[in-house]
Structure 1
Amino acid sequence: MGFRVIKTAAASLLAILITDALNIPGATSAGLLAILGVDVTRKRSVRSISSRLFASLLGLVLACMLFYFLGFHYWVLAIYILLAFPAISKANFKEGIVTSSVVVFRVFQGKEIGVDILLTQVELLIIGLGSAMLVNLVYMPNSEGAMMEIRRKVDGLFSVIFHHFSLTLRDPEHIWDGKELIEANRQIERGIEEARRASENQMIHPDGSWNIYFYMRKEQMENIQSMMHQISQVYERLPHGVLTAEIFDQLSKDVIAEGYTGKSEGLLIELEDLFKEMELPTTREEFEVRSAILQLCHELEYYLNISKKYKAPTAKKPQKRADSAV
């Protein structure tokens, strides 16, 4: 937000200086138009400024017709609002309603309609909005470092979550408040927003790797919630749970490694084969717990399949930036 204020000040000052240098009346209006045109991303800026420009031209034409036939009265402004605002919204220029109002009110204040008046308003629009677009296009903050930091936090939280899964499977009496789940969700949503903003700042060949990473984590987060449900049903210690805990121990390491290691997947395949060789449960309690553990393994398999779908294996050359572990 602080950087946006700096950009807004720069765009406004630039618009005022250009207007004053060209001896065009209304330099402060150009500065106001520049303030309205500054946005958070390059693509959004282009869309917003285009919308503001066309909305202002549309509003200017309609206002001039009203002022010409009805005169410069305050009630005419009310009629303008009643007619122009719905028309501008219907034309999909809703963002430009305020900008168009600034231009129209300037014409009303002058109490005169003429080619030179209209030309001046168009010049102010071009200078004000053009200054905002120039500042937006020249520089946007690089969010690569911020996204990398968020990724490290998410991976670290996943690692802690899997460690607690392992502890619970070894000791069903293990107490865990689950705060890492809430924080991981928050960081993932933050990362999605940051990745979207970074993508909109890349006008040519946008890199979608960060979007892929954070949406992958969001999908896996839903899968982890399902794992939580199954683990909550493991109410007694069994060898099956201890063996499954070893996979989560490995996964807690894999999740913070670079690339898809495949180690956890290999352990899971071995465990599933081992389960098939074990004797059937002899009590209802053992049956319920083993059933929950088996379903937990299916959820874990789904989690790993998501990783395989989006992540490069470590045997290949690591991809840049967002390519992270399981």
Structure 2
Amino acid sequence: MKFIGFRTVKTAIGASLAIIIGKELGLQYAASAGIITILSVQKTRKKSVKSALKRILSCILALCLALILFNLLGYGEIIFGVFLLIFIPLAVRFKVEEGIVVSSVLVSHLLVEQSTSAFWLWNEVALMIVGVTVALILNLYMPSVEGRIKEDQLFIEESIKEILIKIAEAMRNGEFSKEDEEDLLIDLENRLRGARKLTYINLNNYFRGNDHYYVRYMEMRMQQLETLKSMKEHFRDDFSTYEQALMMADFTEKVANSIYEENTAENLLNDLYRLRENFRSMSLPVSRQEFESRASLFQFLNDIKQFLRVKNEFIIDINMLELNEK
């Protein structure tokens, strides 16, 4: 377990650099630049840029408001309170609330110095610029998470394959362990949720518009997970005595062995439609028990169709995106 994370190291280095730069530029209250850097180091590049812009706009708004209030009403603690009463709602209204704290600190410098001269106004703007610029430069480098995402992909695909194979075995031999299946589904869901978070971090570390692949992939697998949960609900009876169950078991195993990322699922969908037609051509159930069991199998078949359709639509969407980018 790491005691100090990469972001912590960047924050410490950035805060020190911002203070040093502030002092070298002759800025007063140079330590504030370091605090601004601490608050501006974000998890992703996009978030860092958005945060920087909002803080600069918030700073300009705060200084303009302070210039008016302090010159009209004087410098005092009550006037600073009036400033906050007006500034905070305005910052929220203009969606720059991320800069409320640091901008208020910068305005407090004017209060302490009892001045809104050009020197002090520029001093506060410069502190903000130094702080957010250092943070932006540091955030240009973000450790890649693609390796971890690919590891998650392999785990997810192997887990789905294992679950489908267990389902196929249960259809053949009539033995189905709900506990084992539940544990596999829980592990898969936990890994999927963590992987999905990583894909959004990866997405927000790039400024191009074509980095949605991993996000779409994980969303596709999340939809398939929900279908898997539905599949297991159909196993209330022993299906192994029915010919349809053995046919479904073979098909389910075929799906399991074709779960890998690049498979379009189009051929599997065609096989499924043929299988469904075969089911319809078979003799009707002769007992209530057989009717209920075959109805459950038919519902399972619909779940498999949904499972494959989600994958097929994912591949089509990705191919369309690639064509549009060319």
For the criterion TM > 0.5, the same-fold answer is yes
Structure 2 CA distance, aligned partners of 1:104 and 1:212? 45
Structure 1 residue aligned with 2:189: 185
1:145 aligns with 2:147: yes
Deviations 1:131-184 (A, max 9, x none): 111211x21111110111111121122112112211222234421311121222
Amino acid at match of 1:152: L
Structure 1 CA distance, aligned partners of 2:212 and 2:196? 11
1:292 aligns with 2:293: no
Structure 1 CA distance, aligned partners of 2:32 and 2:278? 76
8 Å contact from structure 2 (residues 176, 235) kept in 1: no
Amino acid at match of 1:272: R
Any unmatched runs of 5+ in structure 2? none
Amino acid at match of 1:303: F
Structure 1 CA distance, aligned partners of 2:28 and 2:12? 20
Structure 2 residue aligned with 1:322: none
Q: 1:29 aligns with which of 25, 29, 32?
A: 32
* Residue 264 of structure 1, CA deviation: 4.1
Structure 1 CA distance, aligned partners of 2:301 and 2:281? 16
* Residue 98 of structure 1, CA deviation: 1.2
Structure 1 residue aligned with 2:117: 114
1:244 aligns with 2:216: no
Deviates more, 1:60-69 or 1:206-215: 60-69
8 Å contact from structure 2 (residues 88, 100) kept in 1: yes
Structure 1 residue aligned with 2:108: 105
* Residue 100 of structure 1, CA deviation: 0.9
* Residue 262 of structure 1, CA deviation: 5.3
* Residue 207 of structure 1, CA deviation: 1.4
8 Å contact from structure 2 (residues 167, 176) kept in 1: no
* Residue 270 of structure 1, CA deviation: 4.3
8 Å contact from structure 1 (residues 250, 263) kept in 2: no
Structure 2 CA distance, aligned partners of 1:86 and 1:106? 21
Q: 2:77 aligns with which of 74, 79, 82?
A: 74
Q: What TM-score do you get using the length of structure 2 for normalisation?
A: 0.88
Q: What TM-score do you get using the length of structure 1 for normalisation?
A: 0.88
The equivalences for 1:1-326 within 5 A come to 2-136=5-139, 138-177=140-179, 178-229=182-233, 231-237=234-240, 238-256=242-260, 258-260=262-264, 264-265=268-269, 267-311=271-315
- The DSSP-based 3-state class of the residue aligned with 1:51 is helix
* Residue 261 of structure 1, CA deviation: 6.1
Structure 1 CA distance, aligned partners of 2:238 and 2:79? 75
Identity, % of aligned positions: 27
Structure 1 CA distance, aligned partners of 2:281 and 2:132? 72
Structure 2 CA distance, aligned partners of 1:206 and 1:109? 49
Any unmatched runs of 5+ in structure 1? 320-326
Structure 2 CA distance, aligned partners of 1:272 and 1:290? 12
Deviations 1:71-94 (A, max 9, x none): 332222222221110111001111
Deviations 1:39-60 (A, max 9, x none): 1111111111100111111112
Please report the RMSD computed on the Cα atoms of aligned residues, expressed in angstroms. Answer: 2.1
Deviates more, 1:2-11 or 1:271-280: 271-280
Deviates more, 1:264-273 or 1:240-249: 264-273
Deviations 1:232-281 (A, max 9, x none): 34444322112211122222221146433656445434432432332211
- The DSSP-based 3-state class of the residue aligned with 1:281 is coil
Structure 1 CA distance, aligned partners of 2:136 and 2:228? 44
8 Å contact from structure 1 (residues 254, 260) kept in 2: no
- The DSSP-based 3-state class of the residue aligned with 2:257 is helix
